[in-house]
Amino acid sequence: MIAVVQRVSSAEVRIDGDVEGKIGKGILVLLGVAREDTTEDSNYLSDKIVHLRIFEDGEGKMNRSLLDFSGEILVVSQFTLLGDCRRGRRPSFTEAARPEMAIPLYEHFVTACKNFGIRVATGKFQATMAVSLINDGPVTLTLNSTERKK
């Protein structure tokens, strides 16, 4: 499971012009589910993201997590994060999980974040979405659940 994490002042996702999910200060997560992923991957990433100390404290140091100030998360499914561009010019998405597997893991990730008491907004799986954000910092990180196994 791959997550691109962006610290935001605000973010929203629209589908056909209508707001599907919207947050204030917090984290936008673009989440890609791989074929080999399990609920352990989802649990690992949700715990890691909720506890990431990427928000500034009173001294201007990144020392606070979402839990320290009731921040919010917007989760947007993003299978293209699993795109393999090593060969040719057209990405291969063979490593991305099929929807019947990816949807339950995506939903598990959302629920796991909510279980920490975080307000979570989402996009819609398999929809064409327009994502808007005000990147705060900017702070952008990439997390991969397979790295926990190293």
- Among the listed residues 80, 111, 126, 146, the single catalytic one is 80
Question: Beta-carbon neighbour count of residue 15 at 10 Å?
Answer: 14
| Residue-level pLDDT at 150 | 61
Superfamily of domain 2-149, CATH level 4: D-tyrosyl-tRNA(Tyr) deacylase (3.50.80.10)
Which residue shows structure tokens 């929809």?
Answer: 127
Is residue 90 classed as helix, strand or coil in its secondary structure?
coil
Mean pLDDT of successive 10-residue stretches along the chain, which has 150 residues? 98 97 98 97 97 95 95 96 92 94 97 97 94 96 85
- Among the listed residues 6, 78, 109, 122, the single catalytic one is 78
- Among the listed residues 6, 79, 109, 122, the single catalytic one is 79
80 noted as active-site residue: yes
pTM: 0.94
